[in-house]
C-alpha cells in the first residue's frame, strides 16, 4: 500500500507540474527574456537562497576620449564566472540619457566578435537560440533611455568574458564649464500603485493596474550596497587651452600629454556608488559662445551647433511667483533630504519683496505650506523656515497630485510663474508624468533639481524640457550653495528670446529636436541638423535685452569618424520617443525609430546589439544557471534591503488538480455516459 501511495503521489506530482507549466506558458510572456526564458537547458534559481550562491562578478572599465564637444566612451564589462557551473550573466547598468550606443564587442580568450544591430525581437531570438545551442553570445538592450542591460550566455566555469560597449555623446557647456558625467549607480525606481481607498478591503484593489504595472518594465534592477568596482580613464583633447580640470566626487591623477590631458582615477579601483563627474573650463572665458561643426556622410551633411548665451543678461524687472515642490519620500532619506531642505531654504532666501511663493511637500500624500501663493514677508519666511525644518523622509513617491496642484495655480500675467521641483526622481511612471507636464504647464516654467548621488537624470531632464525650464543636479551637500546660485541666477534672467536659425540659401534643414523658444543665462543649446548640402556658415536671430539680436557662425568641417550623424540620429530618436510617450501614432513612430536605429547602428527601445559566436562551447546536458550581478546603489541612501520569500502554498493548485482528477475518475465510472461516448 505504501508503494502504491508513493506511485500515485508521483503521478499526481507530474500532473501538477505539467499543469502549472501549461498554465504558466498560457500567461503572457514576461518582457525580460533572459530571466524568464527557461529554455530547459539552463536552470533558473530564483529562490531567496540563490543569493547565497554568487559565482558571477562584473568589473567595469571606462575609457572616455573627449574631442571638442563630443565624447567617445568605451565601457568594458568583464563577466567572471568563479563557480563550477555554466552561467548566464545579467547586468543592469546606467548610461547618460543621450548616449548613442553604437558598438558591442565580445571577447573570449583570443576571439573577438563584433555585435550587430538588429530589431529587438530578432536580436533576442538570435541570442536565445545561441544560448540553447551552447554558443557564447551577448546582447545589449535598452531598458529605459538611461538604463541598459547586458546578458552574456554560456560563460564557462572559471572563465571570463569581456564585453565592450561604445557610445558617443555631446558634452554640455554650462555655467562657463564643460561637464562629462559617467553614471555608475542606479537609484531603484518606485512605481506608484493606484491610490487605494483606505477604507476598502484589498479585495477591491484594481487588477487592471496590477497588469499594467507588470507590463511596463523589463529586467528589474538588482541594487545592493556597492560591491562592483570600476576603473576610469579620460583622454581630454578639447582643442583649446584648458584652465582647470577637476573631478567633483573622486580623487584623480591628471597628466599632460601631446594632445591635451589624461585623467585617471587615483588608486586602482573605486566603488561604483557615485556618478563620476569631470569638469573643465576653457582658459579664455567667453571664448566659446558659439561653435558649429559639419560632417559629410554620403549625400547628407550633419551639423552640430553649440550655443551658449551670455551670462550677463539683465535681471528681469518682473516679480516672480515661485512654487517649490519638495520630495520627502523614503528614497530621499539620509543626506538627500538634508540637501533638498538646504536647497529649498536657499530658494526662499533668494526671493525678493513683491514675489509670491508656496511650498508643497509630497511622499505617498502631499501637503502645502499655504493654500495659495503668498507674498514674501517676515511672517511668511518664518512659516516657511518652520515648514522646512519639519520635513522628514518616508513613504512612497506619488508625484502626480502635487504637480497637478502646482500647475493648477491660475495664470497671472504680471508675474513670471515658475515651479522649482526638488527630487531624486525615483519613479517608474516617468512617461505619464512628462505627458502631464506637457499638457498642463501653460505659461508656467518648470525647473527640476536632482538631489543625491544618482538622481534619475533622464526623467528630470524630460520633465524640465516638457516644462520649458532646465535641469540642475546637486550630488553633494557642499554643492547646494553654488548650484542653487546658478539656478536662481538663471530664473531671474531669461537671456535670449524667440531664437531662430537661418541657413544660407534657405537650405531645408532637418533639425533633430524642436528648438526651445527661449534660453536662460548660462544654459547651453546643442542643435543637431541634417542638411542636403554643406554650408560654410549660418545665422542665428532672436531678442536679447529687449533688442533684436543677430549672430553669424562659421561652420568647421570635420572627418567622418566624428560620429555627428550618429549623434543626430540619437537626438532624433529621443525626440520621436518623446512623441511616443505623449501619445503619437505608435506604429508610425516605431517604424521611424527602427529605420533610424538600424541605419545608424544604434541601440534604441526597438533595437539591440547582439553578438553570437559560431563555436559551441557548452557540452549538452551540463549544469547551468542564470545570475544577475548587482548594480551599486548610490552612496548615502539607505538601500539596505531584503528580498521576498515565496509566500504561497501549492494547496490551491493541489486542490484544483485533485478535484479535476476525481471528476475525471467519476466520469469514467458512470456507465451511462460511457455508452454515449464515441470511443
Partner 1 sequence: MTYLPNLRLEDWRKAAMVAALIAGAVCVTEAAWIHVKASLAQALIGAAWRREQAGSRNAQPWPWADTRPLAQLTFGEGTHGPKFMVLEGSSGRNLAFGPTHDPASVIPGETGNSVIEGHRDTHFALLRNVKIGDTLHVESLAGRNISFMVTDITIVDSRRSRISLHADGPRLTLATCYPFDAVVPGGPLRLIVTADRSP
Q: Burial of 549 by CB count in 10 Å (0-12 exposed, 13-18 middle, 19+ buried)?
A: middle
Comparison of 314 and 365: residue with beta carbon closer to partner 1 = 365
Q: At its nearest, how many Å lie between partner 1 and the CB of residue 307? A: 40
- Does residue 284 contact residue 241 with C-beta atoms inside 8 Å? yes
Comparison of 619 and 665: residue with beta carbon closer to partner 1 = 665
- Which sign does the torsion angle of CA 582, 587, 588, 594 carry? positive
Task: Find residue 277's DSSP bridge partners.
Answer: 181
Residues near 630 by beta carbon (within 8 Å), at least 6 away in sequence: 222, 223, 224, 227, 228
Comparison of 413 and 645: residue with beta carbon closer to partner 1 = 645
Phi, psi at residue 445, to the nearest 5°?
-110, 140
Provide the strand spans (E) within 68-124: 70-81, 86-94, 100-108, 111-114, 116-119
How many CA within 13 A on the CB side of residue 79? 30
Q: At its nearest, how many Å lie between partner 1 and the CB of residue 225? A: 11
Q: At its nearest, how many Å lie between partner 1 and the CB of residue 56? A: 18
Comparison of 191 and 541: residue with beta carbon closer to partner 1 = 191
Q: At its nearest, how many Å lie between partner 1 and the CB of residue 628? A: 10
End-to-end CA distance of the chain: 32
Residue entry with cell 543626430: 568
- Give Cα separations from 428 to 74, 125, 214 (angstroms): 28, 27, 11
Comparison of 14 and 616: residue with beta carbon closer to partner 1 = 14
Comparison of 508 and 670: residue with beta carbon closer to partner 1 = 670
- Give Cα separations from 273 to 51, 351, 630 (angstroms): 21, 35, 12
Residues near 296 by beta carbon (within 8 Å), at least 6 away in sequence: 302, 534, 557, 560
Q: At its nearest, how many Å lie between partner 1 and the CB of residue 375? A: 35
Comparison of 24 and 533: residue with beta carbon closer to partner 1 = 24
Q: At its nearest, how many Å lie between partner 1 and the CB of residue 10? A: 10
Comparison of 1 and 251: residue with beta carbon closer to partner 1 = 1
Chain centroid to Cα 543, Å, comes to: 35
Comparison of 481 and 658: residue with beta carbon closer to partner 1 = 658
How many CA within 13 A on the CB side of residue 166? 17
Q: At its nearest, how many Å lie between partner 1 and the CB of residue 380? A: 29
Q: At its nearest, how many Å lie between partner 1 and the CB of residue 421? A: 23
3-state secondary structure of 101: strand
CA distance 369 to 385: 10
Measured in residues, the chain has a length of 679
- Which sign does the torsion angle of CA 20, 25, 30, 36 carry? positive
- DSSP letter, residue 593: H
Comparison of 537 and 663: residue with beta carbon closer to partner 1 = 663
Alpha-helical segments (H) within 357-454: 378-389, 400-407, 430-440
Q: At its nearest, how many Å lie between partner 1 and the CB of residue 32? A: 8
Nearest Cα neighbor of 472 from 254, 125, 219, 174 is: 174
- Does residue 128 contact residue 599 with C-beta atoms inside 8 Å? no
Q: At its nearest, how many Å lie between partner 1 and the CB of residue 425? A: 17
Q: At its nearest, how many Å lie between partner 1 and the CB of residue 9? A: 5
How many CA within 13 A on the CB side of residue 365? 5
Phi, psi at residue 329, to the nearest 5°?
-75, 170
Q: At its nearest, how many Å lie between partner 1 and the CB of residue 427? A: 13
Q: At its nearest, how many Å lie between partner 1 and the CB of residue 330? A: 6
Comparison of 491 and 629: residue with beta carbon closer to partner 1 = 629
How many CA within 13 A on the CB side of residue 666? 6
Comparison of 217 and 579: residue with beta carbon closer to partner 1 = 217
- Does residue 519 contact residue 287 with C-beta atoms inside 8 Å? no
Comparison of 127 and 639: residue with beta carbon closer to partner 1 = 639
Amino acid at each position: 500500500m505504501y508503494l502504491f501511495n508513493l506511485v500515485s503521489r508521483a503521478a499526481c506530482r507530474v500532473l501538477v507540474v505539467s499543469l502549472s507549466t501549461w498554465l504558466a506558458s498560457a500567461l503572457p510572456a514576461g518582457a525580460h527574456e533572459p530571466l524568464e526564458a527557461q529554455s530547459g537547458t539552463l536552470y533558473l534559481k530564483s529562490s531567496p537562497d540563490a543569493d547565497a550562491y554568487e559565482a558571477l562578478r562584473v568589473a567595469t572599465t571606462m575609457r572616455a576620449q573627449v574631442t571638442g564637444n563630443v565624447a567617445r566612451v568605451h565601457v568594458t564589462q568583464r563577466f567572471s564566472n568563479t563557480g563550477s557551473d555554466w552561467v548566464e550573466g545579467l547586468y543592469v547598468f546606467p548610461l547618460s540619457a543621450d548616449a548613442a550606443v553604437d558598438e558591442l564587442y565580445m571577447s573570449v580568450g583570443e576571439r573577438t566578435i563584433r555585435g550587430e544591430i538588429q530589431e529587438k525581437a530578432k536580436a533576442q531570438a538570435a541570442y536565445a537560440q545561441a544560448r540553447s545551442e551552447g554558443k557564447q553570445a551577448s546582447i545589449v538592450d535598452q531598458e529605459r533611455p538611461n538604463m541598459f542591460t547586458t546578458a552574456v550566455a554560456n560563460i564557462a566555469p572559471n572563465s571570463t568574458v569581456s564585453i565592450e560597449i561604445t557610445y558617443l555623446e555631446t558634452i554640455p557647456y554650462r555655467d562657463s564649464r564643460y561637464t562629462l558625467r559617467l553614471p555608475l549607480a542606479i537609484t531603484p525606481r518606485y512605481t506608484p500603485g493606484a491610490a487605494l481607498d483606505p477604507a476598502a478591503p484589498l479585495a477591491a484593489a484594481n487588477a487592471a493596474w496590477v497588469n499594467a504595472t507588470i507590463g511596463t518594465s523589463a529586467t528589474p534592477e538588482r541594487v545592493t550596497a556597492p560591491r562592483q568596482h570600476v576603473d576610469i580613464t579620460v583622454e581630454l583633447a578639447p582643442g583649446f587651452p584648458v584652465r582647470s580640470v577637476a573631478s567633483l566626487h573622486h580623487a584623480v591623477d591628471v597628466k599632460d600629454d601631446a594632445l591635451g590631458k589624461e585623467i585617471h582615477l587615483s588608486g586602482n579601483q573605486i566603488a561604483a556608488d557615485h556618478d563620476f563627474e569631470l569638469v573643465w573650463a576653457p582658459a579664455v572665458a567667453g571664448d566659446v559662445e558659439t561653435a558649429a561643426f559639419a560632417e559629410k556622410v554620403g549625400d547628407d551633411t550633419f551639423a552640430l551647433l553649440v550655443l551658449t548665451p551670455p551670462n550677463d543678461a539683465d535681471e528681469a524687472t518682473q516679480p516672480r511667483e515661485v512654487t517649490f515642490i519638495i520630495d520627502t519620500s523614503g528614497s530621499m532619506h539620509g543626506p538627500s533630504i538634508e540637501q533638498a531642505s538646504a536647497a529649498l531654504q536657499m530658494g526662499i532666501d533668494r526671493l525678493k519683496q513683491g514675489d509670491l511663493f508656496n511650498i508643497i511637500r509630497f511622499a505617498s500624500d502631499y501637503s502645502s505650506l499655504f493654500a495659495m501663493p503668498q507674498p514674501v514677508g517676515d511672517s511668511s519666511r518664518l512659516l516657511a523656515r518652520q515648514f522646512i525644518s519639519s520635513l522628514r523622509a518616508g513613504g512612497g513617491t506619488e508625484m502626480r497630485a502635487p504637480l497637478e496642484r502646482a500647475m493648477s495655480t491660475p495664470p497671472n500675467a504680471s508675474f513670471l510663474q515658475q515651479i522649482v521641483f526638488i527630487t531624486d526622481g525615483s519613479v517608474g511612471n516617468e512617461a505619464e508624468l512628462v505627458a502631464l507636464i506637457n499638457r498642463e504647464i501653460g505659461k508656467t516654467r518648470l525647473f527640476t533639481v536632482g538631489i543625491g548621488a544618482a538622481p534619475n537624470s533622464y526623467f528630470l531632464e524630460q520633465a524640465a524640457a516638457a516644462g520649458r525650464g532646465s535641469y540642475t543636479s546637486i550630488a553633494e551637500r557642499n554643492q547646494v550653495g553654488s548650484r542653487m546660485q546658478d539656478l536662481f541666477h538663471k530664473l531671474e534672467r531669461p537671456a535670449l528670446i524667440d531664437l531662430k536659425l537661418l541657413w544660407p540659401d534657405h537650405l531645408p534643414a532637418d533639425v533633430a529636436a524642436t528648438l526651445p523658444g527661449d534660453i536662460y543665462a548660462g544654459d547651453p543649446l546643442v542643435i543637431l541638423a541634417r542638411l542636403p548640402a554643406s554650408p560654410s556658415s549660418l545665422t542665428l536671430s532672436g531678442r536679447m535685452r529687449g533688442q533684436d539680436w543677430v549672430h553669424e557662425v562659421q561652420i568647421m568641417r570635420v572627418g567622418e569618424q566624428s560620429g555627428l550623424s550618429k549623434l543626430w540620429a540619437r537626438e532624433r530618436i529621443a525626440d520621436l520617443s518623446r512623441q511616443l510617450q505623449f501619445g503619437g501614432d505608435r506604429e508610425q513612430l516605431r517604424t521611424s525609430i527602427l529605420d533610424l536605429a538600424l541605419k545608424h547602428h544604434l541601440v534604441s527601445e526597438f533595437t539591440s546589439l547582439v553578438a553570437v559566436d559560431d563555436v559551441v562551447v557548452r557540452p549538452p546536458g551540463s549544469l547551468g544557471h542564470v545570475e544577475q550581478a548587482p548594480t551599486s546603489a548610490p552612496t548615502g541612501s539607505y538601500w539596505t534591503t531584503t528580498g521576498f520569500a515565496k509566500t504561497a502554498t501549492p494547496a490551491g493548485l493541489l486542490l484544483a488538480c485533485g478535484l479535476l482528477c476525481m471528476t475525471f475518475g467519476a466520469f469514467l465510472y458512470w456507465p451511462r455516459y460511457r455508452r454515449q461516448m464515441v470511443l
